[in-house]
Amino acid sequence: MNERYEVRRFIPKEKVEIEVPGSKSITNRALMLAALSNGVCKLTGVLFSDDSRAFLSCLIELGFEVNIEEELKTVAIRGLGGAIPNRNAEINVRSAGTAARFLTAMLAFAGGDYLLQSSDQMKKRPMEPLITLLRRIGVSVNCIEEEGHFPFEIHSKGIDVKEITMDTSLSSQFVSALLMAGIMLPQGLKLRLSGSRTAGAYIKLTLSLMQQFGIEVRREGDVCYVPYNLSYQVPSYQIEPDVSGACYFYAVALLLGTSVVVKGVHLDSMQGDIKFLEVLKQLECSIEDTEQGICVTGRKDRVFPGIRVNMNDFSDQTMTLAVLAPFAASPTMITNISHIQLQESNRISAIIKELTRLGIRCEEKKEYQGICIYPGKVTPAIVETYEDHRMAMAFTLIGLRVDGIIIDNPGCCAKTFENYFDIIDELTAKRQNG
């Protein structure tokens, strides 16, 4: 893809139907659970992106038998009941946060000697809570560059522990990693959750997925009881379409006053970003779960209010709401999102810088751990994306309504949604054709 993408303005005249790839969150959890299972598990509807390919590459380096058919969107993995075929290996998680956290816990719990490498972007993201925990329970972790960050070595003889406490504030991925790895402990694991995100959507997603794989985790308040279970067998598993990716197109319905259906996405989805539909309802969209998929319809006059919303539990959609906010009738306040400063980019800073570049007043509100965005007239500009796929995808939406929006480094979308700009091209081509 070119280094820059000029968005063409588009006002659709009819209902838009979209297909999105499989869920990244479900794909990478399913890859880990398949690898820990006892037998061959065939995953269908798999997302193929930079993140999932990083996870698959790591499993192959670890010696797992993996059969990949990208055109069919399938992956078959032979699990060995919790055993790692190659117990002395080097892997590279690249920029995949899920692979980074999940595989670190899996390898530490399984035992062996491993070198874990990553991209420069992943080196900046937090690993210290998991590294500190592993050291406390007897794993040797040697950070090669900066303490508490990638790259590092793990030397483990396995884990002999019954109870662990993990803080959820920085990233719920640490908890998901421990939940899935916990099945490897012969006495099971009592995992106590602390911090601000103990009821987080991604923790619930992990628990739901484990149940679907036949692993019954009992939860009592902020304590999860993970059973020892390396005998489960799941011959096949279907991965849901990605709700996070679908939300960009639901936002199009609001911005452009049209109807958008994303095929295969339904209201009973396990994914936390389905909560973004409640935000769209507050913005006066209508929501209908049809046989094809959820249909979102925005007001024909494209008028909607500003709102105040706590997005702590579906913060990946912060950027999506942020790019809608300039077109609202009143200010938009997004709260409890301080943790997004430590993701692929400092997303609070990035939002403020790029909206300001576009002529929109936007302020950080530290007392609310969030941002306030004011309505305004968008001016043409080149949008920086900070190697952050969600910044690129969200800010593209502005250009569907306003001329002169250019996205710098659109290729970063390959992290989770390789054909995003192909879909945008198809949408805008309809405008060109009449």
Q: Residues 7, 12, 18, 24: is their CA dihedral positive or negative?
A: positive
With a CB cutoff of 8 Å and minimum separation 6, the contacts of 157 are 111, 138
316 is in an annotated binding site: yes
Q: Per the annotation, does 123 bind a ligand?
A: no
Please check if 78 is assigned to a binding site. no
Q: Which of 367, 419, 313, 355 is nearest to 49 (CA)?
A: 419
Contacts of residue 306, defined as CB under 8 A and 6 or more positions apart, other chains included, come to 325, 328, 329, 330, 331, 332, 333, 373, 375
171 labeled part of a ligand binding site: yes
CB 292 within 8 Å of CB 266: no
Catalytic status, residue 425: no
Q: Is there a binding annotation on residue 25?
A: yes
Q: Is 244 annotated as a binding residue?
A: no
- 81 marked among binding-site residues: no
Number of H helices and number of E strands within the chain?
13, 23
Q: Which two tokens stand for residue 94?
A: 């690249």
Candidate list 50, 242, 316, 388, residue with the active-site label: 316
Identity of the residue numbered 309:
V
Looking at residue 37, what DSSP letter applies? S
Check: CB of residue 49 under 8 Å from CB of residue 42: no
Whose CA is closest to 148, among 335, 315, 342, 10?
342
Pairing label, strands 381-383, 405-408: parallel
245 annotated to a ligand binding site:
no
Instruction: Confirm whether residue 187 is marked as ligand binding.
Output: no
Q: Among all residues, which ones are annotated catalytic?
A: 316
Q: Binding site membership for phosphoenolpyruvate: which residues?
A: 24, 97, 125, 173, 347, 390, 415
Q: Binding site membership for 3-phosphoshikimate: which residues?
A: 24-25, 29, 171-173, 316, 343
Q: Binding site membership: which residues?
A: 24-25, 29, 97, 125, 171-173, 316, 343, 347, 390, 415
